[in-house]
Amino acid sequence: MEEISLRELIEILIKRRKTIIAFTIGIIAIAFVLSFFIMTPVYEAVTVLNVQNISYNTHSGNVNGTNIFLNNENMDWQELSQIDPGITQDSRALISSLIQYPTMSEEAYKNKLLGPELLNKVKDDIPELSDTTVEKIKNKINVESKDGLFTIKIKDPDPKIATAIGNTLSDVFISYVDKYNSDYVDRLDKYIITAIEKQEKDMTNISTELSKAEALSDKNKTKQLQIKHDISKQIYEVLLFKEEQLNLIQMMDFGDKNVALVRKAYEPQKPI
């Protein structure tokens, strides 16, 4: 095999310099045409939201930073069930309903961010998107989440549109979480009020039966009814306490503390 010396290589390059220069200029020209006339530049706007722990823990007893779980550690369910299985079942059902809070995972919130409910609101709030389908808006958005931190990236040929989508989506999402929590507390409040009214009637009925048993000197029935009355009274007092705490939650508006805007979207200056 013939070896080419460095001098011969340089002579070849000099001899073909016009071809090399023309080829280089051609490549640059093609790249310029593709970038500015054929390939539309795309801009990316980024907004970040922080959603607090929205998996309500039935062991710690905390929701929105406020304890509203029913404490039933001192209730003698075993003895009560031997006396009246019905009241045990009803009371336990009541307590279970008070500690079963709705859980939304990060994945569920991501789906909500990309769902038609919120995206339709985004579309309605941005006039430039009036002719754009919700599906096309969704395709512009990418949501990443980790430990409650949601990074929302929006890509669009118009940097102003990308920014508007990011900030509008953040606003409607915060409003959604606020309303979601507020509505839940309102429903729970109505339920507890109904439970209090029922407990008052039960206590009245038990007290009437207890008075009759005492009048008849029926010690066994008196003991059973007294236990039922004590349990019913304890549940009633706890419900009153929970009602006060729910009123505090509503007054302090804890619902909107679960989500915070970490970074608003700013208009990107350069395409990606």
pLDDT above 80 for 130:
yes
Q: Quick one: which of 229, 108, 269 has its CA closest to 173?
A: 108
pLDDT at residue 9, rounded to an integer: 72
- For residue range 149-181, list pLDDT tens digits in order: 999 999 999 999 999 999 999 999 999 888 887
pLDDT at residue 56, rounded to an integer: 37
pTM: 0.63
pLDDT above 50 for 206:
yes
Q: What are phi and psi of 33, to 5 degrees?
A: -65, -45
For tokens 């236990």, the residue is: 227
pLDDT at residue 154, rounded to an integer: 97
pLDDT at residue 59, rounded to an integer: 35
Between 219 and 18, the more confident residue is 219
- For residue range 24-82, list pLDDT tens digits in order: 888 888 777 666 666 678 999 999 999 875 443 333 333 333 333 333 444 444 544 44
- For residue range 220-260, list pLDDT tens digits in order: 989 989 988 888 888 888 888 888 877 776 776 655 567 88
**H/E stretch holding 259:** strand 259-263
pLDDT above 60 for 86:
no
pLDDT at residue 100, rounded to an integer: 43
Strand 141-146 and strand 259-263: the pairing is: unpaired
Mean pLDDT across 4-26: 79
Q: How many residues does the chain have?
A: 272
pLDDT > 70 in the chain, percent: 74
How far is residue 191's CA from residue 196's CA, in Å, rounded to a whole number? 9
Averaged pLDDT score across all residues of the chain: 78
Between 135 and 192, the more confident residue is 135
pLDDT at residue 251, rounded to an integer: 73
pLDDT at residue 13, rounded to an integer: 74
Strand 149-156 and strand 141-146: the pairing is: antiparallel
pLDDT at residue 64, rounded to an integer: 37
E strands, 52-187, in order: 141-146, 149-156
Mean pLDDT across 136-160: 94
Structure-token pair, residue 4: 């080419």
